[in-house]
Amino acid sequence: MGWHLSILIMTTTCFMLFPISDQSSQSELLQQLRKQLEYPRQLDAWGNPSSDPCYTQPTAVLAVTCEGNAIMELKIVGDRITKPPKFSGYSVPNVTLSEAFVLDSFVTTLARLTTLRVVILVSLGLWGPLPDKIHRLSSLEVLDLSSNFLYGSIPPKLSVMSKLHTVTLDGNYFNVSVPDWLDLFSNLTVLRLQSNQLKGSIPASIGKAAMLTELALAGNSISGNVPNLGYLSKLEMLDLRDNDLDGELPEMPTALVTILLSKNSLKGEIPEQFGQLNRLQHLDLSFNFLVGSPPEEIFALPNISYLNLAANMLSGSLSSSLTCSSTLGFVDLSTNRFTGDLPACLNGNMNNMVVKFDGNCFSADPAHQHEAKYCHQSHKGRGLNQDDGLVITVVGILFIVLVLSLLLIASNKKSCQKVLAEQQFLRKHKQDNSTSGMSSELLVNARCISHAVKLGTQIQPSYHIFSLEELKEATKSFEQSAFLGEGAIGKLYMGKLENGTLIAIRCLALHQRYSIRNLKLRLDLLAKLHHPNLVCLLGHCIDSVDESSVKRVFLVYEYVPGETLSSYLSGSSPEKTLKWCGRLQVLIAIAKAVHFLHTGIIPGSLYNRLKSSSILLDEHLTAKLSDYGLSIITEEIYKHEVVEGKRYLQNNVAAMEDSEDDVYYFGCILLEVLMGPKLHRKGGPFVLNDLIVSAGYLNIKPGRA
């Protein structure tokens, strides 16, 4: 009896003791990680000794998931998203973690959390070569270290991690070659190494990584051939854009849905086999040196929606009986050497399809075509003719001018140029009108969403398609007490979901007619915009009469408690004034959000109706932009808003017509924040004078804020 009791006591104590000691060593490890990461803002919650990381509510920037007491998933998304113009492998103040940081010891600490299955450590400023010992995390399934400062080679020991299936290392500085041990990597399904500095060629062994579904190596300096990928029977997505690949195109695996190979130096003809890729939806071969006639079957593939063959040396004439798939939304044949007539299905505005064919020798639209001579001449060997001579001279002169101006502009202007280029890109698209075309193009390119903020596959806040009933329930049938306000772009309601989550619902009445499919493409793109400084879009609800006409769209956002920036600046309540450093923080946060909207997707979302009343500050004074990206949904609304915006600025300057973009409005917010009422009393009159003078140029009345 006695020994029974003592065994009972012993086992109970064991049960009680072990989890506790486990837990405490785990939380010690988390504290160590926090220290090694130099106390990022995102981990402030761990500073409170009484809170257990396992039980804190996951957010977009921090999530710890536990089973029992073991930590399964760790996600931290930092805000170190600036990339210095030059990174030479050492710490950069205020950009990377400090000089004291040692990646090797960080990984040692991390690897002691042996139960981890998902590790997502994004934009935290981690710097150094990634140590091989990362393989000690033997349960790991998902590894995402994008947007850090990792360099050197990708640790070969990754291949012994038998459970690992998703590896994302985008936006780092890996600068050796593409790993040639991928065939050993039995379970690898997703490999993303975009925007690094990888060199050399793609090893042939990659063709044996049979489980791969996604391979993204865009934006490196990879040269050589595209290897034979024929055995990759599960590969759905291949993105090798923007490299130095040359050689001929191989045949492609038949499961592919997306093939992106633009901006390389690929030669030869497009293989006939491309005409049999029945699942293909997006094919981008633009900006290469491809010749010959494209296989006409690619226009008729059952699911093809985006077909870009621009800027190659494709020639011949397309047969008049060429058929186009009904799914086709965008075709670009421009700047090639096509001759003859444009096939009927590409001519005329069928199905809202966008077709571009300038810069060829088609018989249609001679104003934008070359003479037939041009296509035939260049078709037979490319002898120098007069035109070419002229072109070379002009290019030479342009080059010299370019070099000179680059020298002048030198360092920091890079991002500005990028924004300008994208702006032109977008403008061009606007001229092509073609709202539907833009959306399919946007959709393809939306894959380049910056991984700085791309969240993990497993603990991404899930996007939900709400039913009208759910929303009615959440807002008590949109009754008056749920009504928050009405802006030019529709009414705003507050609601509470069944699980208690507070939401904000924006109701958009559409002036433009969209098919449901088209609208969904646009919503898809909007749903991809995740950033710590953007109010998170949780889902949507489409209220339609039938398949072809949509009455209203409801966008469901997270509810951010707190006030708008403009109410902070109005000075109405003295306890709610922003200190200087608070104002600076807000401006930086908005700048980050805008930078993300402009560069996180290509083409960027450039018109976001920035104004202080759509910037929300939560209780920690973190700024979040609302109402962003709506121009993606409807240009109609966008135009309306610009008019509204002008009224808002009390500004009739005709010359400002062209500046209806974010940069201009960001400038206005900047002025507004600097000139908030408190400042007149406290701030330096010296700075203010200057500002008021410049504000005078803009016809902004300084007192209005």
187 binding ligand NAG? (CB under 6 A): yes
What is the smallest separation between the CB atom of 625 and ligand NAG, expressed in angstroms? 22
What is the smallest separation between the CB atom of 174 and ligand NAG, expressed in angstroms? 8
Strands 282-284 and 258-260, by their bridges, are: parallel
3-state secondary structure of 35: helix
What is the smallest separation between the CB atom of 206 and ligand NAG, expressed in angstroms? 18
303 binding ligand NAG? (CB under 6 A): yes
* Residue in 131, 217, 133 with CA at minimum distance from that of residue 169: 217
186 binding ligand NAG? (CB under 6 A): yes
Q: Which of 29, 66, 176, 484 binds ligand NAG (CB under 6 A)?
A: 176
- CA-to-CA distance for 372 and 476, rounded, in angstroms? 67
Count Cβ atoms within 10 A of the Cβ of residue 14 and give its class: 0-12 exposed, 13-18 middle, 19 or more buried: exposed
What is the smallest separation between the CB atom of 199 and ligand NAG, expressed in angstroms? 8
- CA-to-CA distance for 80 and 40, rounded, in angstroms? 10
| Closer residue to ligand NAG in complex, CB, 86/681 | 86
* Residue in 477, 533, 537, 473 with CA at minimum distance from that of residue 504: 537
* Residue in 31, 25, 102, 9 with CA at minimum distance from that of residue 69: 25
| Closer residue to ligand NAG in complex, CB, 89/389 | 89
| Closer residue to ligand NAG in complex, CB, 219/600 | 219
| Closer residue to ligand NAG in complex, CB, 163/427 | 163
Strands 464-465 and 537-546, by their bridges, are: parallel
* Residue in 384, 439, 480 with CA at minimum distance from that of residue 601: 439
What is the smallest separation between the CB atom of 38 and ligand NAG, expressed in angstroms? 12
Count of other CB atoms within 10 angstroms of residue 358: 15
What is the smallest separation between the CB atom of 211 and ligand NAG, expressed in angstroms? 8
Number of residues that bind ligand NAG (CB under 6 A): 16
Is there a contact between 148 and 123 (Cβ–Cβ < 8 Å)?
yes
**Per CB under 6 A, which of residues 235..294 are in contact with ligand NAG?**
278-279
**The two structure tokens encoding residue 640:** 């309306």
What is the smallest separation between the CB atom of 277 and ligand NAG, expressed in angstroms? 10
| Closer residue to ligand NAG in complex, CB, 129/571 | 129
What is the smallest separation between the CB atom of 283 and ligand NAG, expressed in angstroms? 14
- CA-to-CA distance for 151 and 130, rounded, in angstroms? 7
163 binding ligand NAG? (CB under 6 A): yes
Which residue's Cβ has the minimum distance to ligand NAG? 89
Residue with tokens 């499919």: 517
What is the smallest separation between the CB atom of 186 and ligand NAG, expressed in angstroms? 4
Strand pairing partners for 200? none
Indicate if the alpha-carbon torsion angle 41, 449, 508, 426 is positive or negative.
positive
Which residues are within 8 A (CB) of 150 and not within 5 positions of it... i.e. 6 or more apart? 103, 126, 127, 128, 129, 130, 169, 172, 173, 174
**The two structure tokens encoding residue 281:** 């939806």
Q: Which of 47, 84, 302, 396 binds ligand NAG (CB under 6 A)?
A: 302
- CA-to-CA distance for 627 and 489, rounded, in angstroms? 9
What is the smallest separation between the CB atom of 166 and ligand NAG, expressed in angstroms? 11
223 binding ligand NAG? (CB under 6 A): no
- CA-to-CA distance for 331 and 283, rounded, in angstroms? 10
| Closer residue to ligand NAG in complex, CB, 131/343 | 131
Strand pairing partners for 317? 339
What is the smallest separation between the CB atom of 356 and ligand NAG, expressed in angstroms? 24
| Closer residue to ligand NAG in complex, CB, 187/659 | 187
Question: What are φ and ψ of residue 64, in 5° steps?
Answer: -125, 120
Is there a contact between 258 and 239 (Cβ–Cβ < 8 Å)?
yes
385 binding ligand NAG? (CB under 6 A): no
**Per CB under 6 A, which of residues 193..222 are in contact with ligand NAG?**
none
3-state secondary structure of 447: helix
Q: Which of 13, 25, 162, 323 binds ligand NAG (CB under 6 A)?
A: 162
**The two structure tokens encoding residue 82:** 């600036």
233 binding ligand NAG? (CB under 6 A): no
What is the smallest separation between the CB atom of 301 and ligand NAG, expressed in angstroms? 8
| Closer residue to ligand NAG in complex, CB, 129/227 | 129
| Closer residue to ligand NAG in complex, CB, 133/520 | 520
CA separation, residue 338 to residues 286, 307, 375, 448, 595 (Å): 15, 16, 7, 30, 39
Q: Which of 106, 127, 149, 151 binds ligand NAG (CB under 6 A)?
A: 151
- Binding track, positions 71-100, relative to ligand NAG; x by CB under 6 A: -----------------xx---xx------
| Closer residue to ligand NAG in complex, CB, 151/493 | 151
| Closer residue to ligand NAG in complex, CB, 174/607 | 174
- CA-to-CA distance for 426 and 438, rounded, in angstroms? 9
| Closer residue to ligand NAG in complex, CB, 141/422 | 141
What is the smallest separation between the CB atom of 224 and ligand NAG, expressed in angstroms? 17
Alpha carbon 226 to chain centroid, angstroms: 26
Residue numbers at the binding site for ligand NAG (CB under 6 A): 88-89, 93-94, 151-152, 162-163, 175-176, 186-187, 278-279, 302-303
